[in-house]
Amino acid sequence: MEAAGLIQIGLQVLPLVTTGVTEFIAWLEALRTNLRQSGEWTAEQDADFTAKLAAKENDPRYQQDPPPPAA
Amino acid sequence: MKNFKLSRLLTSLSGAITGIAFGWLIASCILTGCATLDPNADPFVVRTEQVQKQADATFDFLLGVDNADRGFWRTNAPALHNFCEYLRTPIAVSPTHNSPRILAIERNVQDLKVQYKANRSAGNSNLLYQISSELSLLVLQGNSWSNIVSTTTH
């Protein structure tokens, strides 16, 4: 499974990380949690995930660059 | 003489114990992929949900890094910035609503998965497989960028 490989790579490159250290660790942690999943999500978890995706539509990280000013 | 041997034995034992403890720590970080699948769980659904969670974490991280200083990445790593902009491009998800491309794809996977869970037919599984494979490819590309942009290059 590629997530397990990614965790190994992530742990190896962790000392070299210079940008977004906290986010990088959060990303690694998310991969680890992901691998521990043993069953299907419940209906509530599905609803939470859908709501989370909807909320991200206004997240600045997901917005395109503004168009360049007209010359 | 006996005490000397005992102290040597203890020294070597303490080294071994430290080694075992350190190995256990590393193993606990790495060997997390051994979760046993619930016998009632559909492996296809679980795999799709793992891809969804991975996509969620990967794109939050990658787009967050790019968003922290878009000008810098646009100039110094245009390929990364273009990939992020590709993910952000609004696409129509309904006649009246546009959504960033990656969120539209994630939403599509989620909707198809819920549909499949309600009716586990071959037709539904084919559709879900198709769209989750597309998401999986984007995640792989996103993961590669995540490792590149977060590490030093000198």
Report the C-alpha gap between B57 and B77 in whole angstroms.
Answer: 21
pLDDT surpasses 80 at B63: yes
pLDDT of residue B23: 52
Q: Judge whether B87 and B60 are in contact, CB under 8 Å.
A: no
| Tokens representing residue B50 in the block | 């793992």
Q: Judge whether B75 and B61 are in contact, CB under 8 Å.
A: no
Instruction: Identify which of B28, B10, B54 has the alpha carbon closest to the alpha carbon of residue B146.
Output: B54
Residues of chain B neighbouring A24 (CB-CB closer than 8 A)? 61, 146, 150
Instruction: Identify which of B92, B100, B64 has the alpha carbon closest to the alpha carbon of residue B80.
Output: B64
| Average pLDDT score, chain B | 80
| Tokens representing residue A24 in the block | 């990088």
Residues of chain B neighbouring A11 (CB-CB closer than 8 A)? 26, 29-30
**Phi, psi angle pair for A17, to nearest 5°:** -65, 130
Average pLDDT estimate for B130-137: 89
Q: Do A53 and B140 touch (CB under 8 A)?
A: no
Q: Do A19 and B42 touch (CB under 8 A)?
A: no
Facing B35 at nearest CB: one of A16, A36, A40: A36
Report the C-alpha gap between B39 and B81 in whole angstroms.
Answer: 43
Which residue type is seen at B67?
N
Instruction: Identify which of B98, B150, B149 has the alpha carbon closest to the alpha carbon of residue A62.
Output: B98
Percent above pLDDT 90 for chain B = 32
Which candidate in B53, B85, B96, B149 is best for mutational testing of the A interface (most A CBs within 10 A)? B53
Report the C-alpha gap between B24 and A62 in whole angstroms.
Answer: 39
State the SS3 of B85-98.
HHHHCEEEEECCEE
Gap from B37 CA to chain A (nearest CA, Å): 4
Report the C-alpha gap between A67 and B78 in whole angstroms.
Answer: 16
pLDDT surpasses 90 at B1: no
Average pLDDT estimate for B123-141: 88
Q: Judge whether B84 and B63 are in contact, CB under 8 Å.
A: yes
Q: How many CB atoms lie within 10 A of CB B66?
A: 24
Facing A20 at nearest CB: one of B45, B64, B106: B64
Q: Judge whether B67 and A67 are in contact, CB under 8 Å.
A: no
| Tokens representing residue A43 in the block | 């209906």
**Residue segments in chain A with a per-residue pLDDT below the cut of 70:** 1-3, 12-19, 71
| Tokens representing residue B38 in the block | 């619930």
Q: Do B49 and A2 touch (CB under 8 A)?
A: no
